[in-house]
Amino acid sequence: MRKLALVCAGGFCGALTRYLLAAPILALAARLPGLPGAHSGFPYDVLLINLTGALALGVIYGLVERRIHVAHNLRLLLGTGFLGAYTTFSSYVYGGVQLLMTGAWFTGALYLVGSLAAGMLCAQLGFWLAGALSQPQPRPAVIRAMGTPIAEALASLNRRLTWDDTGPLLARESGRDYAGQDEQGDRDDWDDLKEEELI
């Protein structure tokens, strides 16, 4: 029941965030000079939201892949819940189809193909950023500047969502075995993320 509540809470916040960001993103796109398609219905809101969601999921995937302990509850809240509702495949396809149906064949095809390519690049960038965050000091100044707030936010959420709270955020720092912490969630972090969170 707790896991369902986490997914619902994350999904509610993710959908609300997407709704609240859509209009400001479109308004900003309309004000930027020389931005193609800003006044002709190009779905810049969906594009930017999906790309930032891919980046965030890449960070989460990268942390888990590098065996950094991210609580199963936190992955449910952020991965399945928030990012699952924040990003939107259906609106992406609908936006592309609308462009194609209005005769903007090149723009529609570019949007559909370009969104996929840019999404993969953003996910890979998130994976790389997770790797940079997980490296021991010294880190480049830009990574320190970007990474400290992210690491602090994840650590804070991790502490709040790990109910047994028996270990630190970085499992490998303490050398402890987290296999028994959450029988279903932490036996194999990547398998859980692949099978349960990425849906």
- Any idea which of 88-97, 117-126, 159-168 has the lowest mean pLDDT? 159-168
| C-alpha distances out from residue 97 to 114, 116, 142, 143, 154, Å | 14, 15, 39, 39, 37
pLDDT band at 134 (very low <50, low <70, confident <90, very high): confident
Q: What is the dihedral of CA 152, 166, 177, 149, to 10 degrees?
A: 0
Check: pTM over 0.85? Answer yes or no.
no
Q: What is the pLDDT of residues 51-85, one digit of tens each?
A: 999 999 999 988 888 877 778 888 889 999 999 99
- CB-CB contact of 119 with 51 (8 Å): yes
Q: What is the pLDDT of residues 163-185, one digit of tens each?
A: 444 443 334 344 444 444 444 44
pLDDT at 193 over 90: no
| C-alpha distances out from residue 176 to 1, 48, 70, 91, Å | 28, 39, 14, 43
pLDDT of residue 17: 96
pLDDT of residue 34: 78
Alpha-carbon radius of gyration of the chain: 19
pLDDT at 104 over 60: yes
Average pLDDT of the chain is 78
